[in-house]
Amino acid sequence: MSYKWPDKDKDEIVDYSVDWSRFLGTDTVSASVWYIYAANGTKEQVSNTETVNGLQFVQGTISADSKVSTARFSLGTNNVRYTIVCSITTAAGLQYERSIFLRIKEK
């Protein structure tokens, strides 16, 4: 199952989050890794200021309570729907990931 974030204008720099709190219960996020699917369909891990298929991953953070993973994005190509993946490792050593769609649309 994939989730969907609100559309982003290519000129915006926006934070998008995955809230793991209800899913994790008392466990917490110890690390999160972000991926963007490239135009050829490969899942590419991104780090600060890296651009994949025109979408730039600016930075990723974990909230102070270690329950929310946030990614900041800029740029993007109009009318393209990107698939973003947030992969986490918990304090208990479990690993999970969620796919999210992000569409770039002129506002």
- Tens of pLDDT, residues 66-93: 999 999 999 999 999 999 999 999 999 9
Alpha carbons 87 and 67: distance in angstroms, whole number? 13
Res 50: pLDDT: 97
Residue 24 phi/psi, 5-degree rounding, is: -85, -20
Whole-prediction pTM? 0.94
Whose tokens are 């982003």? That residue is 8
Res 96: pLDDT: 97
Res 1: pLDDT: 60
Mean pLDDT for the stretch of residues 34-60: 97
